[in-house]
Amino acid sequence: MTVNVADFRHYLNPIDDDKELLRPTSDAPLAWPIPEESEKARTSGALFQVFIETGTFLDFLTGIRGFSESLRSSSSSFDYETQVKIPDEVRCLFPELHVAAFPPTYLVHGTADQVALVEESKFLAQQLELNHIPHVLALAEDRGHGFNAEADADEVYD
């Protein structure tokens, strides 16, 4: 799925320079035309897709310019080097930092996911194990991000 990033230029800088506030997104288009692969995918948020394609989702989510890039420059795991880059005021957005309070958890992750790496779910499962939280990690072989929107998802994952 791709979307014309230029159409969303206004939203790519997460902070309004004049007011130091997050830019409002209430006027962003909710969907965009894509091939008829999946009805679910056609209603996905276009702005979210822009943030994923440009690698700026965490900038927008936290309001911290360059935050996404600072985490990308860390190792591929959620190790100490990565964790210390997360400011206290946004740590609540990272469930990996709060596993001791998790309920029993069922994780499902596509092994071909290029948006959220499968290592992230494996790390979370490891943290749940270390904290004695009941959990299951189900890996969907050769499936990418949003595989639940694929045409055969109901048959394959029922």
Tell me the pLDDT tens digit for each residue of 49-105. 788 888 888 888 888 888 888 888 776 666 777 888 899 999 999 888 889 999 999
pLDDT in tens, 124-145: 999 999 999 999 999 999 998 8
Strand partners for 105: 135
Q: Classify residue 83: in a domain, yes or no.
A: no
pLDDT of 22 > 90? The answer is: no
pLDDT given at position 42: 46
pLDDT given at position 156: 66
More confident residue, 85 or 5: 85
Residue 56 and residue 106 share a domain:
no
Residue 31 and residue 64 share a domain:
yes
Residue 63 and residue 1 share a domain:
yes
pLDDT of 158 > 70? The answer is: no
Residue 110 and residue 56 share a domain:
no
pLDDT in tens, 26-35: 777 666 554 4
Count of domains in the chain?
2
Q: Classify residue 147: in a domain, yes or no.
A: yes
pLDDT given at position 41: 46
Task: Please check whether residue 69 is in contact with residue 54, taking contact to mean a CB–CB distance below 8 angstroms.
Answer: no
Q: Classify residue 78: in a domain, yes or no.
A: no
Task: Please check whether residue 64 is in contact with residue 87, taking contact to mean a CB–CB distance below 8 angstroms.
Answer: yes
Q: Classify residue 85: in a domain, yes or no.
A: no
Residue 69 and residue 18 share a domain:
yes
Residue 101 and residue 59 share a domain:
no
Phi then psi dihedrals of residue 97, to 5 deg:
-90, 0
Residue 53 and residue 11 share a domain:
yes
Task: Please check whether residue 26 is in contact with residue 77, taking contact to mean a CB–CB distance below 8 angstroms.
Answer: no
The neighbour count for residue 58, using CB atoms within 10 Å, is 22
Instruction: Quote the domain boundaries for residue 32.
Output: 1-73
More confident residue, 39 or 115: 115
More confident residue, 121 or 18: 121
Residue 68 and residue 3 share a domain:
yes
